Structure 1
Amino acid sequence: MRDSSARSQHLTRSHLAVGPLTELDVVLSHPRPGLRRWVFSTLPLRMGREIYTELHHDGCTVLAVNLSWKALRADDAADPAGNGILVDTEVVGASCRDALALAHELARHLGVDSSVNVTATITTTEPTHLTPVITEYGGSFRSIPDHAHRPRRIQPVTALISPADEDDHLRASAQETFTDLMHQFGITAYL
């Protein structure tokens, strides 16, 4: 996990420095065993952003992140009920980067010699639309773009990486994954 977090930090070129893997530091020393997997979760802590990660013995990984936690401050949201479920695009970008870094480092650790398929999506169980929240002016302001789409469902996006990939290829794959997710909201964003 620490290798994945370090790899993710090497992939960043912008203010998206802190991602879900970094926030998992509080539970890294206490992984829970699962059926042929290790589980890291901040869910029982009931504080901060909820993050859930599984590292399976066969090389599969799971990274689930609450993308709506503190997406807007209370005084920023004029009509919170009408906004649907808020999706923090900055956290989506960091999660794309971290998911690829996690899959890459686990594949390297296990000695996988073939490509790894990574699937990313944004999902909810609520029957309402998803609303993107963007960060502007170097992280000073968060807002909901007027021109953004508010889909009810996001199509899964896939990326193909290899354990031998260099940081430049992983960075490009993370950007492409992030771009494909954000285009479904009708916006363009960069890592």
Structure 2
Amino acid sequence: MARTWTRLHEHLGCPPGPLTFDMVRQAAADHLEESDDLDWKEALPQPLRDGRWNEFAKDVAAMANTRGGLIIFGVQDKTTALVGIDPDEVNRQQYAQWIRNHVQPYLPDLDIFELSDGTKTVLVVDVPASELAPHFVYGTAAKDKDQQAAVVPYRDNDHTAWMAEHQIERAYRDRFARIGRAEEEIQRHIDFTTKTIAAHATAPSAWFVAVSRPQRPLPRGAYTMDRDEARAVLKAATKRAQALLTRKTVPGPLVGMGDTRLNPRPGLRRWVCNNFELPMNREVITELHYDGTVVMAANLSFIREREEPPGQDDALPVSERLVTACCFDFIATAQEQQRKLRLDSTLQLTAAIISPDGPRALAPLTSTWGDGPENTPPYARRPHYLQPAHTALSPAAADDEGRSSANELCADLMNQFGL
């Protein structure tokens, strides 16, 4: 998914949005100079001939190792004359293959597309700043084809340089720090949601809690949804969840809220939708954060007023059908927010089943006969704690990927019961 804010947007004073041919033409006419996040190229990428590295793979890795940027083919680098390329000679599949063969770790979010005004065409390679940097470029020595060598390129203003050993070491430390911070942020959201649930819970209960966070969250000051847009995201997520499901299940958290209560209210840099004040159905929390984070929680052990709450020694019921519905509602909401905010990075997703008022045995409910009644199999485990389940969702993921991620989360949670 192409980024919506680039060097060309900044130079031309354009608001965030898709890159267009007119923007490239105007930037070239303005003689916009190359920089660490902009590289003009006259000719299309060429296969490896004389030399040690695949030049295209090297250029892409260099930008990914720095802060991302655009490589635009069809513009002379010295004069910035827009000469264009022959679209019939573009081979995006081959370019992607070069990246897979020569760059490690693999760059999953690379976007390659053409722009044209009908007479001239340019090829744009949109390289995101990689969370997995440093990326090595692998090649063979000219005199010994069996000898593999690896280097780490980066952009130094308008040209490519090679990282020294101490720079590579620092790049690895930065990567591990990013991963640690992302995990801490997800856990912080889970902990805060757990405290919120515990403060409102009137009876022992098991809860589904899930957090989706983009690898590169939107910065403050970026686009912020208004209330109507947030409501539209939740309504669209309700429909998407039903479309993703291929088997019958119980209503999920979004459907359980109903149209009248699916009404987000302002929170701390987020839109919050919950029914804690009037819990006629099971309690639900859904939060759409300005930075692209999604938080969802639902009471899996909802007890109506006329029903007897579980005793101190009773296990808390966890319905497999309801966990499935929660996972699909969560994935659908993350996807709809991802599209609305035009998030251009992979989403990291974590889902857990917790008992906020303290450790309690959890009893799984499942059905052997599809639509039949659910019960707890005699062989099922009744754990007091479940490990969180994790998965990822690529930018603008298709329905198949969303469905696969939802099923993966559900399976990883329910398998811990021995089902």
Q: TM-score range by the shorter chain?
A: 0.7 to 0.9
Match of 2:260 in 1: 26
- Give the letter aligned to residue 376 of structure 2: I
Determine whether 1:151 maps to 2:386.
Answer: no
Matched, 1:184 2:384: no
Look up the match of 1:113.
344
| CA distance 1:66–1:120, change in 2 (3 Å) | same
Alignment-derived partner of residue 295 in structure 2: 62
CA offsets 1:5-37 (integer angstroms, 9 cap, x no match): 111111011112621111223312x32110111
Identity, in percent, stands at: 40
Query: Any idea what SS the aligned residue of 2:330 has?
Result: helix
User: Cα RMSD (Å) of the superposition?
Assistant: 2.3
Higher RCO structure, 1 or 2 (CA under 8 Å, sep 6+): 1
1:121–1:155 contact (8 Å) kept in structure 2: yes
Counterpart check, 1:13 vs 2:246: yes
Aligned partner of 1:45 in structure 2 is 278
Q: Distance in 2 between matches of 1:140 and 1:42?
A: 30
How far, CA to CA, are the matches of 2:413 and 2:274 in structure 1?
24
- CA shift, 1:82, in A, is 4.5
- Determine which of 348, 351, 354 is the counterpart of 1:123: 354
Alignment correspondent of 1:137: 369
In structure 2, stretches of 5+ residues that fail to align are 1-233
1:129 partner letter:
A
Change (3 A) 1:50 1:89: same
Distance in 1 separating the partners of 2:340 and 2:249:
26
Instruction: Give aligned pairs, total.
Output: 183
Q: Does the 8 Å contact 2:250/2:322 carry over to 1?
A: no
The whole-number CA distance in structure 1 between the counterparts of 2:302 and 2:329 is 18
- Where in structure 1 do 4 or more consecutive aligned residues deviate above 2 Å? 79-83, 135-140
Aligned residue runs from structure 1 range 76-91, under 5 A: 82-91=313-322
Give how far 1:135 is off.
3.3
Task: Give the whole-Å Cα distance in 2 for the aligned partners of 1:43 and 1:137.
Answer: 34
Indicate the structure (1 or 2) with the bigger Cα radius of gyration.
Answer: 2
Q: In the alignment, is the contact (CA less than 8 A) between 1:20 and 1:65 conserved in 2?
A: yes
- CA, structure 1 residues 142+80, in 2 after alignment: closer, same or farther (shift >3 Å)? farther
Instruction: Give the match for residue 171 of structure 1.
Output: 403
Alpha-carbon shift at residue 47 of structure 1 (Å) = 1.0
TM-score of the superposition, structure 1-length normalised? 0.87
